[in-house]
Amino acid sequence: MSFRDDLKENNALMAERTELVVGRIKEMLNEKTVDDKYIPYFKKMAERMLTLEEYYALHESGKIKTLSMEELKAWNERLFGELEEKSYETCYGNPEYAVKEYGDMGQIFAYLYYEIASLKDAAVNGFREQITVYEELVVEIYNRFEDNDIDIDGIREVIKSFNHDNSEIYSELRARILFDPEVSYARAVVKEADLNDLRYLYWYGKNVTENEIETAKFINSLSEDEVRAMAHTYVDGFLVGYSKMGQDIHNKSEVSLYFNLGFERMIRFAIEEFAKEGIECVIPSPAVGSTSANRQFGFDHKDDRALYLDKSYVDRALETLRQAYESVKKYMNGYAGPAVIETFGEKEFNPKNKKEAIHYDDKQKKLSVSLAGQQAQLNTEYINPEERSFTIIAYPIPEIGPKFKEIFAATVKVNTLDAKLYEDIQQKLIDALDTADYVKVTGRDGNHTNLVIKVAKVNDGVKQTAFENCVADVNIPVGEVFTSPVLEGTNGTLHVKEVYLNGFKVNDLEITLKDGMITTFTCGNNEKEEDNKELLDLLIMHHHETLPIGEFAIGTNTTAYKMGIDYDIQAQLPILISEKTGPHFAMGDTCFSREEEVETKNPDGKVMIAKENSVSALRKNDPDKAYMNCHTDITIPYNELDMITVVRYDGTEVDLISGGYFVLPGTEELNKPLNELYGTNK
């Protein structure tokens, strides 16, 4: 019996429970059986849950596809309107407002609101049980208020028990969505919808804005050859990455596709290309993205798990995740990896770190890190890292501004640069870098970077290399050489005036390293240093007290850099592109995390020797300490860069970059875009 058959049967078994809880929710609308001050909250929650029930019924019956554009827009407003910035100030999902209205209980109210608001994916996929158990949770808590049993610790225990008891449901559904092709509602939309009828954008249960609508219109306006070429670049990057590993893609059966709404025409062609290789595509519905109604909403609830995160929950979560992976083992064995389309151009977001939001305590931060590490280790048990690849490519969205179409065309150009040309130029950089004892990097014009990067010693220059020659395969576009630095001997200060990290703008980021480990970190986003620390804990540190430097790279894609300057979008470029526009440094795991034993060769046949450091080497005896489960790239743009100099073992030096220009013989081609911007290097 298939999972969909099982799901249909389970949904039928849930009918009586669902009927009971929905009946109780309807009564909540008009009752006055709780203290007057709580009535508005529970009435709102009842309205949200009944809206969810209506939405579930629209999808279950298929009626969602018969609604007019006007009706679908009205539904979009019902689902997301309260979360938009204009309404969020007085939304119960906003912990600042909820705590103002209800004190400490407001944190729990905001949490419940967030959980109910997040069930749209369950409605789209027909996950009846997931919806019903959450509705029962809200009703259980409502009943406590009716009985005047308003003990906040007791209610937290209810939430803790709920998440512990239902962990199996979450793990199973998540695993199915990620790996089981038949579960993917989104895939059916991509393959079957009339993509010229933009009503389909509203069928995913995602927020639909002008970004999604205008993206779809634009992609539809391109010729078939143009869109097929985009799809080919995307798919070919994945296939080339797989072949570089020395693996046969035909031994695998599926790949997962991630993209933002509006790119369906390109994705449809990508599905066709993968099918020619015998590969089936999974489209994990919750990961199919759109413009957020309000990114602050997600930021406010990033630590909600603190309500129930303890050692017992960690053990239960790992137990049920293993069970879930066992249920989809055949798919995971055939999993080739993800193919991702990122987007950029969304308006700047400076998150507000609210004291009213739920936050991890120090013990929970450590538990969170431990859980992430053990989950990652579990993944490697079911998906062999030696047989898994990926690819990522990025395109702008209309919100980037009136020159969207020009920027899109420029991005396509950047994504399809001559890989062979870059391969040859980058090899010249690598030949110099392979003689290094260490590399010096310094900034200019207000950038006070001053770093010494220790490099792995190449003992056999004929067969070995310390830097990978990155062309346009897994990371599109082309344009970098990178290594895993030796930690001992890597010291100094990294500074960037402005950088975007995971969509958040960070000003005056400064990190100091001693023997490759972070000793201090700060930024200039907030007046209070503690707020800066907390922001960087989220964006870089991920609750670790320190992190190693996992990567040192030199970006060579000056064409992408010029595009950023020409259109004044430097700060908006995704890390995928911006990391190619100057030297970059990743804090956390190396690029070869959990793949250290896989042989990696450059196009010239040399074997990469710098795949680990003294932290990741602990994997052999103490794996819990070997991996950080994070990798955050930080780029110094060429206009803030002064020198990159190779220092050899005999003390002689070779400049690769001086005054922001490439000066190593054979790399002059890279200066052409810089010369157009700033004039010829003197």
CA distance 470 to 35: 63
**Is 100 within a domain?**
yes
**What pLDDT was estimated at residue 387?**
82
pLDDT band per the 50, 70, 90 thresholds, residue 351: confident
Question: What is the signed CA dihedral for 509, 512, 516, 519, rounded to 10 degrees?
Answer: -110
Q: What confidence tens digit (pLDDT) does each residue in 365-414 have?
A: 999 999 998 999 899 999 987 788 889 999 999 999 999 999 999 999 99
**What pLDDT was estimated at residue 472?**
64
> Which ranges of 348-445 would DSSP assign to H, the alpha helix?
362-382, 404-415, 419-433
Q: What confidence tens digit (pLDDT) does each residue in 120-156 have?
A: 999 999 999 999 999 999 999 999 999 998 999 999 9
**Is 231 within a domain?**
no
Query: Is the pLDDT confidence value at 682 over 60?
Result: no
Name the domain boundary from 162, 183, 205. Answer: 162
**What pLDDT was estimated at residue 1?**
65
Query: Is the pLDDT confidence value at 658 over 80?
Result: yes
Tokens describing residue 436? 């290094």
**How many structural domains does the chain have?**
2
Check if the beta carbon of residue 373 is closer than 8 Å to that of residue 627. Answer: yes
**Is 662 within a domain?**
yes
Q: What is the residue-averaged pLDDT of the chain?
A: 93
**Is 597 within a domain?**
yes
Check if the beta carbon of residue 256 is closer than 8 Å to that of residue 284. Answer: yes
Specify the residue for token string 């062609």.
Answer: 269
Q: What confidence tens digit (pLDDT) does each residue in 570-611 have?
A: 888 888 898 899 999 999 999 998 888 888 888 899 999 999
Q: Phi first, then psi: what are they for 148, rounded to 5°? A: 60, 30
The rounded percent of the chain whose pLDDT value lies above 90 is: 81
pLDDT band per the 50, 70, 90 thresholds, residue 242: confident
User: Around Cβ 554, how many Cβ atoms within 10 Å?
Assistant: 25
Q: What confidence tens digit (pLDDT) does each residue in 110-121 have?
A: 999 999 999 999
Q: What confidence tens digit (pLDDT) does each residue in 470-479 have?
A: 886 678 899 9
**What pLDDT was estimated at residue 622?**
83
CA distance 603 to 480: 14
Q: Phi first, then psi: what are they for 501, rounded to 5°? A: -125, 115
Give the residue among 201, 188, 199 at the shortest CA–CA distance from 263: 201
In degrees, to the nearest 5, what angle opens at C-alpha 494 toward C-alphas 392 and 654? Answer: 90
**What pLDDT was estimated at residue 349?**
83
**Is 459 within a domain?**
yes
User: Around Cβ 209, how many Cβ atoms within 10 Å?
Assistant: 22
CA distance 271 to 254: 11
Q: Are strands 641-648 and 480-483 parallel, antiparallel or unpaired?
A: unpaired
Name the domain boundary from 162, 180, 214. Answer: 162
Tokens describing residue 391? 């690819």
What is the Cα Rg of the chain in Å? Answer: 26
Residue 52: strand, helix, or coil: helix
CA distance 48 to 109: 13
As a residue count, the chain comes to 682
Tokens describing residue 383? 């998906």
Q: What confidence tens digit (pLDDT) does each residue in 20-75 have?
A: 999 999 999 999 999 999 999 999 999 999 999 999 999 999 999 999 999 999 99
Specify the residue for token string 């003990």.
Answer: 151
**What pLDDT was estimated at residue 347?**
85
Query: Is the pLDDT confidence value at 270 over 70?
Result: yes
Q: Which residues pair with 481 in a beta bridge?
A: 469, 554
Q: Phi first, then psi: what are they for 610, rounded to 5°? A: -95, 75
CA distance 29 to 43: 5
Name the domain boundary from 162, 190, 210. Answer: 162
Residue 368: strand, helix, or coil: helix
Tokens describing residue 60? 């279950």
Q: What confidence tens digit (pLDDT) does each residue in 454-493 have?
A: 999 999 999 999 999 988 667 889 999 999 999 999 999 9
Q: What confidence tens digit (pLDDT) does each residue in 176-186 have?
A: 999 998 888 89
**Is 366 within a domain?**
no
Check if the beta carbon of residue 520 is closer than 8 Å to that of residue 512. Answer: yes
Range of the domain at 672: 417-678
Q: Give this prediction's pTM.
A: 0.91
**Is 355 within a domain?**
no
**Is 551 within a domain?**
yes
Tokens describing residue 131? 């919806």
Q: Per-residue pLDDT averaged across 655-677, rounded? A: 95
Q: Per-residue pLDDT averaged across 483-507, rounded? A: 92
In degrees, to the nearest 5, what angle opens at C-alpha 243 toward C-alphas 239 and 249? Answer: 65
Q: Which amino acid is at 634?
A: I
H or E element, residue 174: helix 167-179
Q: What confidence tens digit (pLDDT) does each residue in 370-379 have?
A: 999 899 989 9
CA distance 550 to 517: 10
**What pLDDT was estimated at residue 205?**
94
Check if the beta carbon of residue 505 is closer than 8 Å to that of residue 349. Answer: yes
Least confident segment among 287-301, 463-477, 604-618, 636-650: 463-477
Residue 556: strand, helix, or coil: coil
Residue 130: strand, helix, or coil: helix
